[in-house]
Amino acid sequence: MRLDDLAQHTGQWLRGDGPESDIVISSRVRLARNLSDYPFIRKCSPKQRTQIAAIVQQAFEQSTIGTLAQYIDVSKLGDLDRQFLMERQLISHELSDAEGTRAVILDPDERFSIMVNEEDHLRLQVMQSGFDLQHGWDRINQLDDTLEAHLQFAFTSNFGYLTACPTNVGTGLRVSVMLHLPALVATKQIERVFRALGKINVAVRGLFGEGSQFMGDFYQVSNQTTLGKSELELIHRVHEVVPQLIDYERKAREFLLSEDRADLSDLVSRAHGILKTAKKISSEETMHYLSKVRLGINLGLIEGLSISTLNKMFIHTQPAHLQKLRGRKLSGSDRNTERATYLQQHLN
């Protein structure tokens, strides 16, 4: 598997064919694990980091996962390749920017990835299209069991799985759902929704997870803590909240259609027109206008354009993807030009 080949298509989680995919982009289930014989990453020496990666690589190759995925040494990748993997949500900023030996195990269909030597020794994540936490949990549970047959994880009967961050101690589980909520933003209800989620220990983050900004009306909703709760209880908590958000967004969309259909149609058409005719356009502008077009498709205001195609545009217009598709590094100005060209080719 070559990273340049990944740029030509999108992963399974972005195909827009999962449950409630008009609002829910994807569901992600993540597990944090650490090897029992080594300190947490921040206390590891360079030699210990190398030893951890070697142990994990051996376990990967000996397990059935070795036939499904590829082990990639992230420390040997250039800046562009690391940014490319971040844009596809396959690695985190922490793994990309870290020093020393680190790696990622990638499934070619991007259904799962396993980060090595991030904040924890191992970060397993599974991604599903739409609102599909149960299948995500089933898959990651199987991955975890497969690796645990070859590795000794840090675990105590009192606290469960031990992790570098106290909020992950216990199950090490983080459940997150990425939602597209443009109508709640347009009707100015989004802040009220965020405050309500904070009261029940549900976190809201930007498109690229913790520390990232909100762009294109996309939000990630996840559990905040894991200690004292079972995996199924944590999944159930998020599984209860998301349908309410979906319902709020649908009602807001219905309101916009009934009260301001002409204005809404104009907003969507203008966004569509700008994307089709712009000669230069930034990544932030593109996300903003694609969000409006995505809403228009789902409300029947735009025809002849599929959600899967639009989802691909969200990824392919990111800086590293544009450069991968072009086959060379581009300056900021050249990326804005190339992005506009890409949009015109796929929208006209």
pLDDT tens sequence across 76-116: 999 999 999 999 999 999 999 999 999 999 998 899 999 99
Residues 82 and 161 in one domain: yes
Boundary residue ending a domain (249, 280, 310) = 249
Residues 242 and 304 in one domain: no
Boundary residue ending a domain (196, 224, 249) = 249
Q: Could you tell me the CATH number of the domain that includes residue 48? A: 3.30.590.10
Residues 316 and 223 in one domain: no
First to last CA, the chain: 32
Residues 197 and 284 in one domain: no
pLDDT > 90: what percent of the chain?
Answer: 72
Residue-wise pLDDT tens digits, 274-287: 999 999 999 999 99
Residues 236 and 328 in one domain: no
103, 55 contact by CB (below 8 A): no
Residues 116 and 200 in one domain: yes
- C-alpha 4/C-alpha 327 separation (Å) is 9
pLDDT value at 211 more than 50: no
Residue 161 domain boundaries: 3-249
Residues 16 and 141 in one domain: yes
- C-alpha 213/C-alpha 118 separation (Å) is 21
- C-alpha 27/C-alpha 114 separation (Å) is 16
* Counted domains in the chain: 2
Q: What is the mean pLDDT of residues 303-315?
A: 89
Boundary residue ending a domain (233, 249, 265) = 249
Arithmetic mean of pLDDT over the chain: 91
Residues 43 and 186 in one domain: yes
Residues 124 and 218 in one domain: yes
DSSP track, 120-178: SSEEEEEEEESS-HHHHHHHHHHHHHHHHTT--B-EETTTEE--SSGGGTBT-EEEEEE
Per-residue pLDDT band at 10 (split at 50, 70, 90): confident
Residue-wise pLDDT tens digits, 110-127: 999 999 999 999 999 999
Q: Which residues contact 195 (CB under 8 A, 6 or more apart)?
A: none
What number of other Cβ atoms are within 10 A of residue 249's Cβ? 27
Residues 242 and 291 in one domain: no
Residues 282 and 174 in one domain: no
Residues 89 and 231 in one domain: yes
